[in-house]
Amino acid sequence: MRVRREVLGDAHVDRAVAGTDEFTAEFQDFITRYAWDEVWTRPGLDRRVRSCVTLAMLAALGHEQELALHVRAALRNGVTAGEIKEVLLQVGVYAGVPAANRAFAVAQPILAEH
């Protein structure tokens, strides 16, 4: 939970936990244990690189809500606006211009407020 809070921020995690019920409790436990404990804490990549990889995958898959969350997380992890732009340009080449176009539209207001 510590890593999840450090990457996503307390406000997001608090909302997710508050919204947990009997139906979603096992899923919340699953993502906390596997994503945030097993994967995000592995020594092979630092958090900045993991954030960049996550941004690219979410943009390529069109997961806009999660992309917005992880743009904020990437900034928290020290990824610069310029680096985020480069990741999204890479998405345009390998996942298609429409995916990158949408990702830029999601990231732009977040970067403007940062």
d(CA 1, CA 13): 9
Query: Mean pLDDT, the chain, as a whole number?
Result: 97
DSSP 19: T
Q: Is 98 within 8 Å of 106 (Cβ atoms)?
A: no
Which residue is listed with tokens 């996550």? Answer: 54
Q: Is 36 within 8 Å of 71 (Cβ atoms)?
A: no
Average pLDDT over residues 87-98: 98
Model confidence band, residue 33 (pLDDT cutoffs 50, 70, 90):
very high
Tokens of 96: 């298609």
Please give, one letter per residue, the 3-state secondary structure of 43-64: CCCCHHHHHHHHHHHHHHHCCH
d(CA 50, CA 41): 10
DSSP 6: H
CATH number listed for the domain at residues 45-114 = 1.20.1290.10
* pLDDT, tens digit (0-9, with 9 covering 90-100), for 43-78: 999 999 999 999 999 999 999 999 999 999 999 999
Portion of the chain with pLDDT greater than 90, in percent: 99
96 three-state secondary structure: coil
Model confidence band, residue 42 (pLDDT cutoffs 50, 70, 90):
very high
Count CB atoms within 10 A of the CB of residue 42.
9
The domain spans of the chain are 1-42, 45-114
